[in-house]
Each structure stands twice: as C-alpha cells, then as structure tokens.
Amino acid sequence: MSHLGIQLGLSSLWAFLVSMFAVPSIIYIAHLKNMLDTPNVRTVHESLTPRLGGVAVFAGFMSALTIFADLSHGIQQLLAGCIVLFFVGLKDDLVTISVAKKFVGQLLATGIVMIMADVRITSFQGILGIQELPIGISYAFTFLVIVGITNAINLIDGLDGLAGTIVLIIVSTFGYYFYEYGGPNFQNYAFVSVCVIGGMLGFLRYNFHKASIFMGDTGSLLCGFIVSILTIQFIEMGLKVGQPFASSAPSVAVGILFVPLFDTLRVFIVRMMAGRSPFSPDKNHVHHRILAMGFQQISTVMLLGALNLVVILFVINFAYLGNTLLIIGLVGFSVLLSFLLGVYQSRTAQQRVAS
C-alpha cells in the first residue's frame, strides 16, 4: 500500500474515532442542558432528541485534516470556511437564527474559498455552447452552486441516517477520483473526502437507525459546504487534468449529487406551483413521499442511497456521451420519478377518500 494510501487510511480512522467518542458526551450534555429538538410538523421522529451531531463530525474532520493533510491548494481556506459555517450552524441549532444571518455566514465562507483560494467554476465546458466564463459571472455562478448544494444537503436531512448516507456516497465517489487522478493539485481533496467519511461513520453509528442524535444544521451546513467545494474541484479537475471525465465532468457531478438536487428542485417546483414560498416547510420531500407509500425509515434511506448509486454508475459509465445527452437523460429520469411519486400520491389520496 502506498504512503499516501496509509496516510489517507490513518486520517479517516482518526476522524472516525474522534467523532465516535465525541457523540456520547454531546448526547449527555444536550440532555443535561435540555438542548433537544422537539418534534414538529416536518419531522418524522417522536421523541426529544439532541441535534448537535455536527459538532462530532466537525471535531473528527477538523482534527484529522489538520494533522494528516497538506493544507495547500485551497484546503486551508476550506477549513476557514468550515469554521465560519460551524458557528453559524451551532447557533442555529441552539437558539435558531434568521435566514438572513445564515445567508451572510454562507456568503462569508464562500468568499474565503473563492477569493483567497480561487476555488471557482471557470468554464461551462461546452454546456449550452459556453466555454470560459468571465470572472464576475464565474464568481456569481460559483456562489450559487455552493449555496445551492449546501442547502440541498440541508434539506435532505429529514430521516435517521439519510443525509449521512447520501453524503458518504457522494464524498466517497469524489474522493476516489481525487485519489486516482488528482495529481499534485487535487490529490489533497482526497484527504478532505476521507476525513468526512471517517467523521460521518462515527456519527452514523448513533444516527443510522433509531437515532439518539441528529446532525443538526451544524452538520448539514458543514457537509453541504464541503460537498459543494469537492464538486467544484471535481469539475475543475476535468478541465485542468483532463481526467477522468474531461469535459463531461459537470454532468457527471450533477449525477453524483442526484438525490439531494432532485429532491430540492422537485420540492421547490411543487411549492411554487402551489403558490407558496419555495422555502415554506412541508412534508413533500422524496423521503416523506416514500414513507407515505408504507416503507420504513431504514428501507427509505436504503432505497434513496441505492437510487443515488444507480445514477452515479449510470453517469460514470455513460460519461463519453457528453454533457448535453447526460443532462437530458438525468432530467428525463427526474421527470419520470416525479411523475411516479405524483401518481402514487394521488392514488393514496383517493384510497383515503374512499375508505
């Protein structure tokens, strides 16, 4: 096994152990100080549960990355952004903060990474006939991508182990390609990936089934931000290294993020069609719809994880088709999936009326 492989393994193990040993203390303190999440309209859980799991993931991720990884090529700025978002999420989990303050936190974290480390999407790689982006548009688009992905991960965090499982699948996929093809400029991001994997596995030990703790906004903002930066670097790697998917990297990245992106876009469109704010809470997420079909929480998580894996395998195997065809395929599949969920929903509603 290579020296790099051993280092990656050690950093993942470190993050895992720190996270796993931190969770019981966090649960204990949360119960002691009554910092618990009360069940509400949107949630599926019934009991009072602490929602500070992100603290453990952050502790594992942060310590492993600073001990084992080389912090050049934007990793240092990524960590700085993570610290900003960690405190925004933590405050939100403890006392709830306004959307505006959350947005400022995201703006700050994104600014650090974009401006100081120049991590941004520089080209559309031929999508809609667009290649290189002017710098202003590049910054604006990158900001939208980061905020969009961060919030997509935040929104999917609705069942025990769901966000954690989806993040694991996404980060593992990106991590593998950074490790294999990253070269000196992008290989460091394999460390980011394995540190997230370790921290997340330690947390999922307590969250996957009959959760005794939730990730909370601390965790979902943090993971969403990290996933968005990995996505951008993965797309840029296709451009600069030409490996492994060259100019198809943007559509492959969309496929890798399929479940959170599909869920967010679908929910926003459904809400706007009903004349409501896209941000108004409801039980219309994919996981709510699958639960309504009679699936258990754990099988819903497995089903969505499997769905994401299938789409990832599809985009990886058909990357040679190029961006346009892949995106048409993904959109077509999304429409079909939405249609199936919609048909089932109206059928169950009819059955309820009939009974």
Question: What pLDDT score was predicted for residue 261?
Answer: 94
Q: Give me the mean pLDDT over the 31-47 stretch.
A: 70
Q: Which amino acid is at 157?
A: D
Question: What pLDDT score was predicted for residue 349?
Answer: 60
Beta partners for residue 132, in sequence order: 123
What is the C-alpha separation between 34 and 28, in angstroms, rounded? 10
Q: Which amino acid is at 78?
A: L
Question: What pLDDT score was predicted for residue 44?
Answer: 62
pLDDT at 180 over 60: yes
Question: What pLDDT score was predicted for residue 140?
Answer: 92
Question: What pLDDT score was predicted for residue 4?
Answer: 87
Question: What pLDDT score was predicted for residue 352?
Answer: 60
Please, which residues have CB within 8 angstroms of residue 177's CB and are 6 or more apart in sequence? 234, 237, 244
Q: Give me the mean pLDDT over the 234-247 stretch.
A: 82
Q: 42-56, 183-197, 224-238 — which is least confidently predicted?
A: 42-56
Backbone angles phi, psi at 36, to 5 degrees: -120, 155
Q: Give me the mean pLDDT over the 166-193 stretch.
A: 93
Question: What pLDDT score was predicted for residue 244?
Answer: 77
For the ranges 82-91, 126-135, 291-300, the maximum mean pLDDT occurs at: 82-91
Question: What pLDDT score was predicted for residue 45?
Answer: 60
- For residue 252 the two structure tokens come to 């492959």
Q: 15-19, 291-295, 342-346 — which is least confidently predicted?
A: 342-346
Confidence of residue 134 (pLDDT cuts 50, 70, 90): confident
**Please, are residues 252 and 316 in contact by the beta-carbon 8 Å criterion?**
yes
**Please, are residues 32 and 170 in contact by the beta-carbon 8 Å criterion?**
no
Is it true that the peptide bond before 244 is cis, omega within 30 degrees of 0?
yes
The residue with greater pLDDT, 70 or 228, is 228
**Please, are residues 207 and 53 in contact by the beta-carbon 8 Å criterion?**
yes
Q: 132-146, 276-290, 338-352 — which is least confidently predicted?
A: 338-352
Q: With pLDDT > 90 as the criterion, what percentage of the chain qualifies?
A: 51
Confidence of residue 1 (pLDDT cuts 50, 70, 90): low
Q: Which amino acid is at 346?
A: S
Each residue's pLDDT tens digit, 244-275: 787 888 899 999 999 999 999 998 888 888 88
pLDDT at 344 over 70: no
Q: How many domains does the chain have?
A: 1
Q: Provide the 10 A C-beta neighbour count for residue 242.
A: 12
Confidence of residue 346 (pLDDT cuts 50, 70, 90): low
Q: Provide the 10 A C-beta neighbour count for residue 241.
A: 16
Q: Concatenated DSSP letters for 249-311?
A: HHHHHHHHTHHHHHHHHHHHHHHHHTTS-TTS--S-SHHHHHHHTT--HHHHHHHHHHHHHHH
Domain, as residue range, for 68:
3-354
